[in-house]
Amino acid sequence: MPKIKVGIADTTFARVDMGAMAIDELLQLTSKIEVVRYTVPGMKDLPVACKILFEQHDCAICMAIGMPGPADKDKICAHEASQGIINCQLQTGRHIIECFVHEDEAETPKELIEVCENRSRKHARNIFYLLFDKKWFIKNAGKGLRQGFPDAGPIKA
Amino acid sequence: MPKIKVGIADTTFARVDMGAMAIDELLQLTSKIEVVRYTVPGMKDLPVACKILFEQHDCAICMAIGMPGPADKDKICAHEASQGIINCQLQTGRHIIECFVHEDEAETPKELIEVCENRSRKHARNIFYLLFDKKWFIKNAGKGLRQGFPDAGPIKA
Amino acid sequence: MPKIKVGIADTTFARVDMGAMAIDELLQLTSKIEVVRYTVPGMKDLPVACKILFEQHDCAICMAIGMPGPADKDKICAHEASQGIINCQLQTGRHIIECFVHEDEAETPKELIEVCENRSRKHARNIFYLLFDKKWFIKNAGKGLRQGFPDAGPIKA
Amino acid sequence: MPKIKVGIADTTFARVDMGAMAIDELLQLTSKIEVVRYTVPGMKDLPVACKILFEQHDCAICMAIGMPGPADKDKICAHEASQGIINCQLQTGRHIIECFVHEDEAETPKELIEVCENRSRKHARNIFYLLFDKKWFIKNAGKGLRQGFPDAGPIKA
Amino acid sequence: MPKIKVGIADTTFARVDMGAMAIDELLQLTSKIEVVRYTVPGMKDLPVACKILFEQHDCAICMAIGMPGPADKDKICAHEASQGIINCQLQTGRHIIECFVHEDEAETPKELIEVCENRSRKHARNIFYLLFDKKWFIKNAGKGLRQGFPDAGPIKA
């Protein structure tokens, strides 16, 4: 049976190699997929990278990995990239799991790397569930799941 | 007569299971529909989830349920999701009722759950009216109806 | 001669029935049109409502009527709706006259209703001119016309 | 030889008749063009006006003229209009020169009219160059040209 | 073998001739490409300029070069241009490397020109790698590469 292609789009701008983490997690989870990695300069190049992964590499799903800096300009960049990623999904009818870690999400380098590791691996698992076990999400609907940090959990009255 | 398919797209990020509330309300209202639930990781995955519900599951209408956190980053996320949800509607010519509850809309967990319950059930009724009784909306035009809170009512000079 | 269809999209969220005002004005102006009213829950439902009025009801032009609340969240909602309304126009090549009144545009309920009345009726006339007398706009180009308030008038050196 | 059609889209909201200024400049520059003027109520009506000028009037290029007021609401309006104008260009593959003058760009009415006059005439010349002498732009690349105000000029180390 | 066409879209608004810098770098890197330069008045004209470079000039890739001023209005302009550039990429499935330098990125004219020189040349190299050596990016994924400034480098725990 031919393997299902999963696109991993990431950047040279990012300061942590989350692409490698996500790929490692995916390949540990299953041998039924083949990863196509497409690295681009920055976040704003991710939407078209995913479009190319869908159209030219026939990926069934993508992950878009980016790491916005702490400045206002970087936040706007991330916003523009996110809009493009959503538009790309609407045009292709396929999922792109956005895995962005903002540089100011942690206080120390060590913590930041942990956020990156946790988020990229958990989102790799989300891709696995989207491909092979969509019911897993229904079971966890409204459960306050988080990627990068511990789950927030459901709100209790 | 085949049932009309209603798509319910929701998230594992949300901390209240509004999808279950909306489905419960819909199935109490009518036996003429069939619910297709599609749960995804986060709000930004909702636009393509609805696209898939329309195109692959042949839903006539969708509800997109999300629960943005209190941080600025979450507000931007919700904004991006909303833009995608509107674009998805324009591409398909079908309604998606957006049912978002912001975590900071209430002061206590109990109140927040009440907002969720009220909004998801009232929006389920809006879906019912859009499918079976569109004139109901004309009768209530300009009446200051609210979901999640009591109606604001019409302004009186 | 068949009547020209004019779509009036409005909401149950609004607290003033501007749809009725606009329709009343239109029907006073001409008997050559037929109004198709489509009321939806909120502002974000207006773009697809107009799309449906164009595609399924064959309207030649639409008015999209909304009434954003005073909170920041409402302003963002109105922004998203406006973007969708512009996109809908670009997709269909037909005009949608946006008639939004923000709740904080007036200081008393009485004044707010006057703004609503004035804006919806003046925009109804704009629809009339777009359908039957486009040269009227050229004659008034740069004249500082306003809807909802008195005209600002042209700037004089 | 048939004349090239140039669309001039402007508004009755504007308080200076920049459309007339731009048309006057264009007709002084060349007799090879024919102007099609399309005036609409406000800025948000400009994107579809240009779409109509391209599709129904076969214009080769458009100018979109608007005059946002000084309030925050007006700035958002201008932003929405600009996004639509860019989308319209992408859909048609044709240029729309945006000529917006914000009411708060000058301190006195006299200065504001001068800004309008200068910007609309200089952008009319830009349209002329885009139609007949594209190399003019390459010669002036990076030269800090401005419309509405004196050129900023190139930065010198 | 026919040369690969690279589109360089830039503006007369910019105050540094980054187009010339990028072209110089590209032609030093390889003789396998042919540059098509398309200069337009301002940043908001860049998206359609790239569309034209793709569709009418058959470019395989573009660089969009702009130089936003320091005012808020300029930041919004840049944001609108960026959204259009991303949409253009999604429509064509081809890369546009955005090379924007904000006038307030440096403290002296000399430093600003250095930022422009560095960013435009590094992005020219990115275009080279996208055309001829995509694996170069994978090797540098997560390495914190920067254009315009020294690389930030990877984060170390």
pLDDT tens per residue, range E124-137: 999 999 999 999 99
Residue E157 pLDDT exceeds 90: no
Kindly state the tokens that stand for B75: 């507000």
Q: Are D112 and D103 in contact (CB under 8 A)?
A: yes
Q: For residue D152, what is the nearest residue in chain E, using CA coordinates?
A: E15
- CB count within 10 Å of CB D71 equals 11
The residue with tokens 């470079």 is: E53
The torsion of the CA quartet C106, C110, C112, C118, rounded to 10 degrees, works out to: -120
pLDDT at E9: 99
CB contact under 8 A, E123 and A41: yes
The answer to whether B125 faces chain C, any CB pair under 8 Å, is no
**C-alpha dist (Å) from residue B120 to B25, B97, B124, D57, D150:** 8, 10, 6, 47, 57
Residue E26 pLDDT exceeds 90: yes
pLDDT at D61: 98
The answer to whether D70 faces chain E, any CB pair under 8 Å, is no
pLDDT at B44: 98
With 0-12 CB in 10 A as exposed, 13-18 as middle and 19+ as buried, what is E154?
middle
Q: Where are the beta strands (DSSP E) in chain B?
A: 4-11, 33-40, 61-66, 96-100
The answer to whether A83 faces chain E, any CB pair under 8 Å, is yes
Q: What's the whole-number mean pLDDT along residues B79-92? A: 98
Handedness of CA A73, A74, A76, A77 (dihedral sign): positive
The answer to whether E149 faces chain A, any CB pair under 8 Å, is no
Domain ranges of chain A: 4-139
Complex confidence, ipTM: 0.97
Report residues of chain D scoring pLDDT below 70: none
Residue E108 pLDDT exceeds 90: yes
Q: Are A142 and B18 in contact (CB under 8 A)?
A: yes
Q: What's the whole-number mean pLDDT along residues E93-114? A: 97
pLDDT at D157: 85
pLDDT at A24: 98
- CB count within 10 Å of CB A103 equals 17
The answer to whether E20 faces chain D, any CB pair under 8 Å, is yes
Which chain D residues are within 8 Å of E10, Cβ to Cβ?
Answer: 141-142
Residue D34 has phi, psi (to 5 degrees) of -125, 130
The answer to whether C5 faces chain D, any CB pair under 8 Å, is no
- CB count within 10 Å of CB E71 equals 11
The model's confidence at residue A1, banded by pLDDT at 50, 70 and 90, is: confident
Task: Assess whether chains C and E touch, using the rule of 3 or more C-beta pairs within 8 angstroms.
Answer: no
Which chain E residues are within 8 Å of A40, Cβ to Cβ?
Answer: 95, 130, 137
Contacts of residue D77, defined as CB under 8 A and 6 or more positions apart, other chains included, come to: C82, D42, D43, D44, D68
Claim: this prediction has a pTM higher than 0.90: yes
Of D12, D17, D73, the CB nearest to C145: D12
pLDDT at A80: 98
Q: Are E134 and A45 in contact (CB under 8 A)?
A: no
Q: Are B35 and B90 in contact (CB under 8 A)?
A: no
The answer to whether C44 faces chain B, any CB pair under 8 Å, is yes
Residue range D36-70, pLDDT digits in tens: 999 999 999 999 999 999 999 999 999 999 999 98
Residue C6 has phi, psi (to 5 degrees) of -115, 125
E21 three-state secondary structure: helix
Superfamily of domain C4-139: Lumazine/riboflavin synthase (3.40.50.960)
Q: For residue A85, what is the nearest residue in chain B, using CA coordinates?
A: B44
> Which residues are paired to A9 by β-bridges?
A38, A64
Q: Are B4 and B34 in contact (CB under 8 A)?
A: yes
Mind telling me how many Å the CA of D112 is from chain C's nearest CA? 9
The answer to whether E87 faces chain D, any CB pair under 8 Å, is yes
The model's confidence at residue B58, banded by pLDDT at 50, 70 and 90, is: very high
The model's confidence at residue B6, banded by pLDDT at 50, 70 and 90, is: very high
Contacts of residue A60, defined as CB under 8 A and 6 or more positions apart, other chains included, come to: A4, A5, A6, A94, A131
Which chain B residues are within 8 Å of A87, Cβ to Cβ?
Answer: 84, 87
Q: Which helix (H) or strand (E) holds A39?
A: strand A33-40
The answer to whether A94 faces chain B, any CB pair under 8 Å, is yes
Q: Are A49 and A9 in contact (CB under 8 A)?
A: yes
Mind telling me how many Å the CA of D123 is from chain C's nearest CA? 17
The model's confidence at residue A113, banded by pLDDT at 50, 70 and 90, is: very high
| Cα-trace Rg, chain D | 15
Contacts of residue B111, defined as CB under 8 A and 6 or more positions apart, other chains included, come to: none
CB contact under 8 A, C88 and B93: no
Determine which of B11, B40, B48 to mutate to test the interface with A (most A C-beta atoms within 10 Å).
Answer: B48
pLDDT at B30: 98
Kindly state the tokens that stand for D99: 């000529």
The answer to whether C95 faces chain D, any CB pair under 8 Å, is yes
Q: Which helix (H) or strand (E) holds C7?
A: strand C4-11
Q: Are D37 and D51 in contact (CB under 8 A)?
A: no
Q: Are D68 and D103 in contact (CB under 8 A)?
A: yes
pLDDT at A157: 84
The percentage of residues in chain A with a pLDDT greater than 70, rounded to a whole number, is: 100
Q: Where are the beta strands (DSSP E) in C12-74?
A: 33-40, 61-66
Which chain B residues are within 8 Å of A83, Cβ to Cβ?
Answer: 80, 83-84
